[in-house]
Amino acid sequence: MKVAVFSTKSYDRTFLEAANAGQHELVFFEPRLNLETSVLTAGFPAVCAFVNDTLDAKTLRAIAQNGVRLLALRSAGFNHVDLAVARDLDLTLLRVPAYSPYAVAEHAVAMILSLNRKIHRAYNRVREGNFALDGLLGFDLHGKTVGIVGTGRIGAITAQILHGFGCRLLGYDVYQNPDCLALGMEYVALPELFAASDIVSLHCPLIPETYHLIGAEAIGQMKPGMMLINTSRGQLIDTKAVTKALKSGIIGYLGLDVYEQETDLFFEDLSNHVIQDDVFQRLLTFPNVLITGHQAFFTEEALKNIAETTIGNITDFEQGRPCPNQIDLDQVKK
């Protein structure tokens, strides 16, 4: 198939071309897909998009009018797609439901360790010849209570790693994961998890029920000085409420790999620009906040898995085979 691949960086091209091995005609576009760039899809029956591409009603109608029949996502999440419009346009929507859960889980734990032991601050101090330890005091992870919200594959691996540190594990999910239960995890209601946890790590999908899951009400239930980690979806967190909690000391540490308004920021070099997002800029002023630019997934293993699954999805569609990674648009409410 002839496929227009949007939001591509050099690493995307490297892994996709290796996985493709000449099967499909991949045409790479660095810009993000949106209404303005949708003109580039003319003549392509398939489009490959990433998490920060704008796949709203107007863009979907434009690419469908250009002849696009397949939308292959290089991501697990699809909350950026207008599913009802995709269904009405008879678009086929495929995704990558899993790549390397270890990548995201390990990054979450890396953020916990960095925030706790002030690694990011110590690194900068030593480079400036400052070897004083004042302000770098941490705590033992051993014996601390960690609440994991969402115990699917990534949450379960995060729990496994933290179990190795000797942490007490609390979990919240619609379904209890046997692997987590085997680690000794106790499933509790969210208010109890928030009240008891020294660290809360988010690993749940973004759905209407989880939008701003961490807001003023949830923060009011948390242990003062707790650590909050989000490597899942930015909109799980009400950033303004979290900023207020940082100022009051209820949240003592904050680690974010995702941000609710990240579309105009992440995956781009803005070092020579003035960032206009005042809320994000305010977060950067806190010494107890660590932000990475949506890089938790960014390992060789994950990129290889994403590329291979994406190419496999496109091949299934081209050859008329049922694809296990197709999103059932018939289940979308009209």
Output phi, psi for 308, to 5 deg. Answer: -65, -40
Q: Round to whole Å and give the CA distance between 167 and 259.
A: 27
Contacts of residues 14-23 at CB distance under 8 Å and 24 or more positions apart, as own/partner, are: 15/303, 15/304, 15/306, 15/307, 16/48, 16/307, 16/310, 16/311, 18/304, 18/307, 19/304, 19/307, 19/308, 19/310, 19/311, 20/307, 20/311, 23/311, 23/315
Active centre residues (catalytic): 233, 262, 294
Return the amino acid letter for 121: R
* Residue (of 277, 273, 271) closest to 259 by Cα position: 277
Beta-carbon contacts of 172 under 8 Å, excluding residues fewer than 6 positions away, are 147, 148, 149, 150, 151, 187, 188, 189, 190, 193
Q: For tokens 């995709």, what's the residue?
A: 86
- Burial degree of 324 (CB within 10 A; 0-12, 13-18, 19+): exposed
Both tokens of 1, joined, read 């198939």
Q: How many CB atoms lie within 10 A of CB 136?
A: 12
8 A C-beta contact, residue 260 and residue 286? no
